Amino acid sequence: MKKRQEKDIYHDMLKLDNREWCADPRRLKEFVGADYSEFFTKDNNLYHRYNIKEQFSKVHQGDMMYLINIVFDDEICQVVFVMPLLKVLGLEGLPILFYQKNLSIVGNLVRTFVRQLMSRDLDIAKFNSATLILIPKVANAKMVK
């Protein structure tokens, strides 16, 4: 039991830039949040180059045409229902289960987001700094279904 407890101590730790191990949830959130929120910023994309040349197999021309086809609304909704229920998109995102249960409410926003993303009409840097606000439709709401 002691070994397991000792092992679990290190489960929620991360080495910071100063090479110090950190287990404080607040500091970890700040550290990871800063990196994550800047990952897709315009500045980061311009100045950081990653050596990925020839690291992936080439896509055949027929497959390439399939990849650039228009994405239909029913395809977008199908994806929501095949993802793991507790998968969370982003640091403080809502689990996929939320989108499945509330697709009639948030479905149009999800479909619009995906279409804008696919047509490159969306600045991903702005999206990463966006805040989703849920406004309850009932008084004294205690949970989200």
Mean pLDDT for the stretch of residues 126-137: 65
% of the chain beyond a pLDDT of 70: 61
Q: Comparing 7 with 63, which gets the higher pLDDT?
A: 63
Mean pLDDT for the stretch of residues 87-115: 82
Contact criterion met (CB below 8 Å) for 12 and 26 = no
Q: How far apart are CA 23 and CA 55, in angstroms?
A: 35
Q: Comparing 70 with 7, which gets the higher pLDDT?
A: 70
Mean pLDDT for the stretch of residues 116-127: 75
Distances (CA, A) of 106 to 76, 90, 99, 131: 12, 17, 7, 15
119 CB-side CA count, 13 A: 10
Q: What is the pLDDT of residue 35?
A: 65
Residue 113 has pLDDT above 60, yes or no: yes
Contacts 24+ apart (CB under 8 A), 125-133: 125/40, 125/41, 125/42, 127/40, 128/36, 128/37, 128/39, 128/40, 128/41, 128/90, 129/37, 132/93, 132/94
Mean pLDDT for the stretch of residues 57-86: 81
What are the tens digits of pLDDT across the range 35-61? Answer: 666 665 555 554 555 566 666 667 778
User: For the ranges 7-11, 76-80, 101-105, which has the lowest average pLDDT?
Assistant: 7-11
Contact criterion met (CB below 8 Å) for 109 and 66 = no
